[in-house]
Chain A
Amino acid sequence: MPLLELLNYPFLQRAIIAGLILGLLLACLGVYVTLRRMAFFGDGIAHASLAGIAIALLAGLTPLPVALVWSLVVAVIIFLLERKVKLPTDSIIGILFTASMALGVVLMRFTPGYQPDLVSYLFGSILSIQNTDLWITAGITAAILIWLFTSFRGLTFMSLTEESAAVAGVKVKLHTLVLYVSLALATVLGVKMLGIVLVSALLILPPATSRLIAKNFRQYFILSVVVAEVTILAGLLASFQFDLPSGASIVLAGTVLFCLAAVFRRR
């Protein structure tokens, strides 16, 4: 079926709109993930969300809201433990995400029958996005982006030099907590589209690609968003046209863009 005809279908329209909204959100947050070297955080939260999904399926609830709340709790625990115990952050994340994932696997044992929802969360199912999912995604994205743009200066300053920012009056702890919560929510929204296994790629690939090209921070930020949107569109259209898994197609599209930027960038 020609691509233009495919785009008349509401489920594809929802998928593209959701993809573009998520691309914007994950690109903006991804700038700080790479600046603060938190790539593992996104991966950890994505895997930890499995327990939230399992709890929802066991209780007969809609998975997305429960996964959002669960991931929010995990993010807050990471924030608190960072300040309480003398362990590196990646160790804390590793402990929490593996424990959470193990809990999810154990809980699934008690959920009778085959669970198609679980599989779709592992590898993404953008075509199953409903209007409710779209509204939740748009609402959370708007809230996070409003915070991001009003806190832009302080957040960027503290990501470069935390002590100087603290002395200058930036509320470092508060911004860190809100950043962790925002990342957790954004990652779980992305899990629906890209899956637990691949979602962190969309936090990392666009900023990594734009960093190879950008000459200054303003360009870096804008290009991260542009690259994310092109990645989403190219991946989705390729998956529709050639009947490929959508999550994997998006990640491969992003990887191609990264490779092109690495090869052709000006030194």
Chain B
Amino acid sequence: MSPRSKKTNEPIPAIFVENLNVKYGDNVVVDDISFSVGQGTVAAIVGPNGSGKTTLMKAILGLAPFRGEALVLGQHFHEVRGRVGYVPQRFTFDRDFPITVEEFLHLALGTKCLPSRILTVIKEVGLTPLVLHKRLGTLSGGQLQRILIAQAILNDPAILFLDEPSTGIDVAGETAIHDVIEHLNKEHHTTILMVSHDIAMISCLVDQVLCLNKKLLCSGPPKKALTQKSLGELFGPHHSLYEHHQHHHEA
């Protein structure tokens, strides 16, 4: 059962942000953002490069200083740390470094989790146990991203934060990751907040879109939020939507 407010018995938002500002010196990176994401929702933050998407996510996770309010499951992030999973935008490591997938996942395994949980999450992300004996550096981009998601869900989080999960991955890998996101949300009711450039994926997969270009320009279901006007404000006047027979694509 979703956590509820003791006062109102209403479900507590998974993520609640109010008047959030991030500023580095004179540079305003995130300007007075307010929004909420309900439990069990798949939400995406979209916007051009430098719009503050990653900074906003990091602020919510306590990785960047900010002013304002950012609550996760009704509490500050450090109080609900064990219920959150995170896959960062970049995972740069030396690909020749000798560490296997199994050893990597063991590092992230919490004290309350059994080692058998590793087999479970591997299957959840659509991989076979054979991958456990491979070295991390020998994985393809898509496989590595799924292992990072596996690492993030080891402790069965209520909320999963994904920063550009399909960047630099081929079409087959992207599809696999989308399937994982859908599976986690539908089977485990996991709330997912992701940063993404993939408008086509967002249109099909997410329940809520947040359009960000330092300020929040739009918010809502994809069909309502991703209008020609909002895309023009986000990416410039020469961008528009056209409806493919199966997908929406950014033109």
- With contacts A167-B63, A215-B98 known, is A156 near B82, CB below 8 A? no
A216 touching B135 by the CB < 8 A rule?
A: yes
> What is the chain B residue whose CB lies nearest that of A215?
B98
Q: Which of A57-114 contact B (CB under 8 A)?
A: none
Complex interface: chain A residues within 8 A of B86 (CB): 163-164, 167-168
Give the distance to chain B from A37, nearest Cβ to Cβ, in Å. Answer: 8
Quick one: which of B63, B85, B91, B108 contacts A166, CB cutoff 8 A?
A: B63
| Residue-wise interface mask of B (96-111) relative to A, using a CB-CB cutoff of 8 A (1 in contact, 0 not) | 1111100110111010
B61 nearest in chain A by CB position: A167
Judged by a CB distance under 8 angstroms, whether B143 is at the interface is: no
Number of residues of chain A lying within 8 A (CB) of chain B: 20
A160: contacting residue among B81, B96, B107, B161, CB under 8 A: B107
Contact between A217 and B98, CB atoms less than 8 A apart: yes
Residue contact B87 to A164, C-beta cutoff 8 Å: yes
Most buried by B among A35, A153, A164, A211: A164
Q: Mark A166-184, 1 if CB is under 8 A from B, else 0.
A: 1111000000000000000
The answer to whether B106 touches A153 (Cβ under 8 A) is: yes
What is the minimal beta-carbon distance from B14 to any residue of chain A, in angstroms?
16
Contacts of B108-132 to chain A: CB distance below 8 A: 108, 110
**B151 interfacial contact with A, CB 8 Å:** yes
- Report A193 CB to chain B, min CB distance, Å: 28
Interface residues in chain A, defined as those with a beta carbon under 8 Å from any beta carbon in chain B = 35, 153, 156-157, 160-161, 163-164, 166-169, 211, 214-220
Q: What are 11 A-B residue pairs whose CB atoms fall within 8 Å in the complex? A: A35-B97, A157-B107, A161-B91, A163-B86, A164-B148, A167-B61, A167-B81, A168-B81, A217-B98, A218-B103, A220-B98
